[in-house]
Amino acid sequence: MTDQDASTELARLRGTIDNIDAALVHLLAERFKCTQQVGELKARSSLPPADKAREERQITRLRSLATDAGLDPVFAEKFLNFIIAEVIHHHERIAEGK
Ligand SMILES: C=C(O[C@@H]1C=C(C(=O)O)C=C[C@H]1O)C(=O)O
């Protein structure tokens, strides 16, 4: 592969990465819009911000999806836990009326 070929291929691959990153941002934005509504509903109904049983079901499901897709399930679990922790933080703030 010539230097020119390599830089053309690198630019092509990075274009794909940029598209995927954009899709991830849009997907996360939609998820947070939805969890915002869940947080408001929970606050109105005096439900707790976190639901550990639901989280366990989600993690089991995501780990299985990740394995089937060829993604490291440990990474998938960490990623989901990171997002859920942020959501719970938002729900706590909503419940406090902030
Ligand atoms: C969104 C919810 O609130 C919390 C956040 C979750 C999530 O981000 O998926 C899952 C469970 C809850 O701890 C919910 O109860 O469904």
Q: Are 57 and 77 in contact (CB under 8 A)?
A: no
Residue 98, pLDDT above cutoff 90: no
Output the CA 82–ligand 1 centroid distance in Å: 12
Supply the ipTM of this predicted assembly: 0.99
Residue 1, pLDDT above cutoff 90: no
Where along the chain do its domains lie? Answer: 3-95
DSSP symbols for the chain: --HHHHHHHHHHHHHHHHHHHHHHHHHHHHHHHHHHHHHHHHHHTT--S--HHHHHHHHHHHHHHHHHHT--HHHHHHHHHHHHHHHHHHHHHHHTT-
Closest ligand 1 atom, residue 47 Cα = 15
3-56 tens-digit pLDDT = 999 999 999 999 999 999 999 999 999 999 999 999 999 999 999 999 999 999
Would you state the pLDDT for residue 5?
Answer: 93
Look at 1 and 85; give whichever has higher pLDDT.
85
58-94 tens-digit pLDDT = 999 999 999 999 999 999 999 999 999 999 999 999 9
Residues with CB under 6 A from ligand 1: 35, 38, 50-51, 54-55, 58, 83-84, 87-88, 91
Would you state the pLDDT for residue 70?
Answer: 98
Output the CA 21–ligand 1 centroid distance in Å: 23
CATH class belonging to 3-95: mainly alpha
